[in-house]
Chains A and B, each alone.
Chain A
Amino acid sequence: MSQYHDPANVTNPEHAEHHIISPATYIAVFVTLLIFTGITVGAAYIDLGILNPIVALAIACFKAVIVILFFMHVKYQSRLVKLTVAAGFFTFLILITMTLTDYMSRAWGLW
């Protein structure tokens, strides 16, 4: 059994090599972030109707994702860490969607 020769009991899905990300990557990410900040400010001045908040949030999500993946090294982390990050956002989504079931349907009926 594999776990015998692994004193840290770091079974594979939970394990990743330490990976050093080069400054070049950081610079690329940094520039992308600045560009997208510009885009999101610009987009705010254009009337896209319902799309305005969607675009703004999409850009924010994109920026957050690249920060998480590169600045926070998640791209090079074990699956466990990736799952953990996902679980956090998933619970946040539960909070939002399940609470919204109340607020959205309050107007539906008499009550």
Chain B
Amino acid sequence: MDNVSVATQPHTHEEHHHVSLPQHRHHFETEEQQREAGTFGMWLFLLTEIMFFGGLFFAYLLYRNWYHDAFVAASNQLSIPLGAANTAVLISSGFFMALGVWAAEVRKKGLLVLFLVITTVLGFIFLGVKYVEYHEKWEKHHIPGAHFDISEFVNPQAYGLKEQPLAPDMAAKTQIFFSLYFAMTGMHALHMIIGIGLLVWLTWRSYRGEFSAGYVAPIEYFGLYWHFVDIVWIFLFPLLYLINRHPGQ
């Protein structure tokens, strides 16, 4: 029994003539189809990321409204220069990633590798700064849990801060801010770490010349991911660092 009995026409994809590259998977009819499927799939994956962070953003929105004063005071503990610098670092990293995609598209192997390396280095810088910030929180007892200490918020003068003191019950809510701070930046950092891992791998493959002969899909998809991680930070930065920078006015 022949296994295709649907009205088949002698097939016509020769007319379209796509070069058959080694990375072309058998079940795709054309290279074009494969590429578009990949982009679309990557975007769907990013949708899940939106919803994943979405839950955290909602929690943030809710508690920010409930415990506004605590959020302001706690947020003022974060360092804007570090945050802003890190934003710039991440944006630059995204920029070089975009250039990397371009370099792959125009088949310039040297540039591609260079850009990916810069992207990776910037990613590491970002994480380094993040480490510095986390470490500061640790020393100040701002890590939620047993060692959390609210005295800085109840009695800011004693710590040389110009903040308004918070009533103890409100000050206790700063812990929620820091919980969300760590949950959100932590999830973000986790995405960065995964991203850097992938970057190293892609850099090595680029160095071997895999992506400078017209096959750019992995670079492109990874670019989407990396930019998405940027976008999350673009929102995290103002929400966490810049809530209210003029205490007492």
Contact = CB atoms under 8 A, between A and B. Distances in A.
Interface of A: 4-5, 7-10, 14-16, 18, 20-23, 26-27, 29-30, 33-34, 37-38, 40-41, 43-47, 52-53, 56-57, 59-60, 63-64, 67-68, 70-73, 77-78, 80-81, 84-85, 87-89, 91-92, 95-96, 99, 103
B73 to A, nearest CB: 15
23 contacts: A7-B11, A10-B36, A34-B91, A40-B238, A52-B243, A52-B244, A60-B238, A64-B235, A67-B231, A71-B97, A71-B223, A71-B227, A72-B224, A77-B39, A78-B36, A84-B40, A84-B43, A88-B46, A88-B47, A91-B54, A95-B55, A96-B54, A96-B58
A68 B81 CA distance: 26
A44 B99 CA distance: 31
Top 6 closest A-B pairs, CB basis?
A8-B33, A44-B242, A56-B238, A88-B47, A30-B95, A7-B13
Indicate the member of B11, B33, B43 with the most A CB atoms within 10 Å. Answer: B43
B interface residue count range (under 10 / 10 to 19 / 20 to 34 / 35 or more) = 35 or more
A44 B29 CA distance: 53
A17 B216 CA distance: 15
B99 to A, nearest CB: 6
B101 to A, nearest CB: 8
The binding surface of chain B is classed by DSSP as helix
A28 B60 CA distance: 32
Contact of A92 (B54, B92, B102): B54
Interface of B: 9, 11-13, 15-16, 29-30, 32-33, 35-36, 39-40, 43-44, 46-47, 50-51, 54-55, 57-58, 61-62, 65, 80, 84, 87-88, 91-92, 94-95, 97-99, 102, 105-106, 220, 223-224, 227-228, 230-231, 234-235, 237-239, 241-246, 249
Contact of B223 (A20, A22, A33, A72): A72
Contact of B30 (A8, A21, A44, A53): A8
Contacts of A92: 50-51, 54, 57
Nearest to B11: A7
Contact of B235 (A4, A60, A77, A87): A60
A43 to B, nearest CB: 8
Given A8-B32, A23-B99, A71-B98, A91 B105 contact: no
A38 to B, nearest CB: 8
A40 B40 contact: no
Given A34-B91, A40-B242, A63 B58 contact: no
Given A18-B35, A44-B245, A84-B47, A95 B58 contact: yes
A82 to B, nearest CB: 10
A31 B24 CA distance: 37
A89 B39 CA distance: 18
A70 to B, nearest CB: 8
Contacts of B244: 44, 52
